[in-house]
């Protein structure tokens, strides 16, 4: 059931070093390709990064888990693949909502394949452009880190307005989610 898959998916930032099959990564991008697009312009392009040296370079452009002080990866916990979402400015000047939709498609297809992911917006974009030799007209929008999970995360009910996620005594990441009644209005205010 899609509802279950969507609600049980959590962001994972640490990964085993098991290699991700190429097919699984291609399926992710293919799902993004088939996702909704404003005016059907389809302005997004994708880079799959899976080569060892490039993985290390891409990692150096990313900021992780801002809510958690001193959140650090050991070399055995880094992502084993990335998908970079790019906006082709020759097709559309502004990214609009397409990248978020594409990112979710990628995350869910990855999830179904047993992979876990982290969407990253905190990216040193100029550095990443240089590392991946990205042409001028392609703008880096989001990076999705992928791999097999090496940490656990669960959703918990939010207390007050505290959106910060934290690790509990079992080392499980607790991610507060707002209550349904806080965010849902029927018909009108």
Ligand X SMILES: Cc1cc2nc3c(=O)[nH]c(=O)nc-3n(C[C@H](O)[C@H](O)[C@H](O)COP(=O)(O)O)c2cc1C
Residues that bind ligand X (CB under 6 A): 10-11, 13, 63-65, 118-122, 153, 165, 175
Quick count: other Cβ atoms within 10 Å of Cβ 27? Answer: 16
CB of 143 to ligand X, least distance (A): 8
Beta carbon nearer to ligand X, 21 or 112? 112
CB of 48 to ligand X, least distance (A): 19
For residue 41, give every residue at least 6 positions away whose Cβ sits within 8 Å of its Cβ, in sequence order, or none. Answer: 91, 92
CB of 187 to ligand X, least distance (A): 28
Beta carbon nearer to ligand X, 21 or 119? 119
Q: Give the DSSP letter of residue 24.
A: H
For residue 82, give every residue at least 6 positions away whose Cβ sits within 8 Å of its Cβ, in sequence order, or none. Answer: 47, 48, 49, 50, 55, 58, 143, 144, 145, 146
Q: Give the DSSP letter of residue 157.
A: E
Beta carbon nearer to ligand X, 126 or 135? 126
Beta carbon nearer to ligand X, 10 or 129? 10
CB of 100 to ligand X, least distance (A): 6
């Amino acid at each position: 059931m899609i509802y279950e898959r969507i609600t049980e998916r959590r962001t994972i930032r640490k990964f085993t070093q098991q290699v991700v099959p190429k097919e699984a990564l291609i399926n992710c991008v293919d799902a993004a390709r088939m996702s909704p697009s404003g005016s059907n312009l389809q302005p997004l392009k994708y880079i799959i990064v899976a080569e060892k040296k490039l993985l290390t370079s891409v990692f150096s452009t990313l900021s992780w888990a801002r809510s958690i002080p001193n959140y650090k990866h050991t070399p055995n916990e880094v992502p084993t693949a990335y998908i970079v979402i790019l906006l082709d400015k020759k097709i559309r000047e502004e990214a609009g909502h397409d990248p978020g939709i594409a990112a979710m498609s990628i995350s869910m297809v990855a999830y179904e394949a047993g992979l876990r992911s982290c969407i990253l917006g905190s990216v040193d974009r100029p550095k990443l452009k240089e590392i991946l030799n990205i042409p001028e007209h392609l703008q880096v929008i989001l990076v999705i880190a992928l791999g097999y999970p090496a940490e656990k995360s669960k959703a918990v009910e939010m207390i007050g307005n505290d959106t910060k996620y934290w690790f509990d005594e079992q080392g499980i990441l607790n991610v507060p989610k707002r209550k349904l009644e806080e965010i849902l209005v029927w018909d009108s205010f």
